[in-house]
Amino acid sequence: MENEVEQIRMENIADTDSEIFALLKQRYSPRIFKKRRIDESDLDQIFEAGRWSASSNNLQPWRFVFAEKGTKAYQLIYDCLSDFNKTWANNAPLLMLTAYQKNTKDGKENFHALHDLGLCLGNVTLQAQYLGIGLHHMAGVDWKKAHRVFKVPNNFHITTAIAMGYYGGALNDLPPDLQEEEIAQRERNPVKTFAYKESWVG
């Protein structure tokens, strides 16, 4: 079954309208993963990629809290997830919380901090894809609870959670409805619906 799922993943490549970088075509958000601990060297590469992402004035306002399955911290992150995400996220060998620093060191609002966190996660996601590691970014997280549990300083804001692991795993680890979604044809809105030349269209 695992080999079959891996084959599905190799074939689940985006049908793009224009040719793009292969790793971007292959990237998607899995809900099942190989039951394998993520190598420390791979994690180092992933965070190093994030380290070198674009950042307004090099402020690097991103922060991450991550934990491996089987640890108390993993369970604490899992307990902060939405009920829906709890139906599958424990398949991941690693869970992570993302955050950004709201103000600069001199107390000024960093308006672009969330943008910079997004750029960082773009780098992180692409480097992970290169290593055969899938990331599923989750908006369904109780950030207020995460703040309390992990004693996050007021100057930071927990933003999302991420499930991370090597591609693979068994479809049977998912509820039936999510099994279908896991192998469904991937779709995106056409470029013309969000990229406007010379004037606003939407």
Give just the sign of the alpha carbon dihedral 101, 104, 110, 116.
Answer: negative
Degrees to nearest 5, angle at CA 88 with 41 and 168: 50
pLDDT at 196 over 60: yes
The pLDDT confidence band at residue 184, using thresholds 50, 70 and 90, is confident
Residue 4 pLDDT greater than 60, yes or no: no
Q: How far apart are CA 149 and CA 158, in angstroms?
A: 11
Question: Over 60: is that where the pLDDT of 104 sits?
Answer: yes
Question: Within the chain, how many helices (H) and strands (E) appear?
Answer: 8, 4
Mean of pLDDT values over 125-148: 98
- Break the chain into its structural domains and give their ranges: 2-188
> For the chain, what is the mean pLDDT?
93
For the cut 90, the answer to whether the pLDDT of residue 10 exceeds it is no
pTM above 0.85, yes or no: yes
pLDDT class of 9 with cuts at 50, 70, 90: low
Q: Please tell me which of 2-6, 128-132, 178-182 the model is most confident about, judged by mean pLDDT.
A: 128-132
Residue 166 reports pLDDT greater than 50: yes
What's the average model confidence in pLDDT over 183-191? 91
CATH architecture under which domain 2-188 falls = 3-Layer(aba) Sandwich (3.40)
**Structure confidence at residue 7 as a pLDDT band (50, 70, 90):** very low
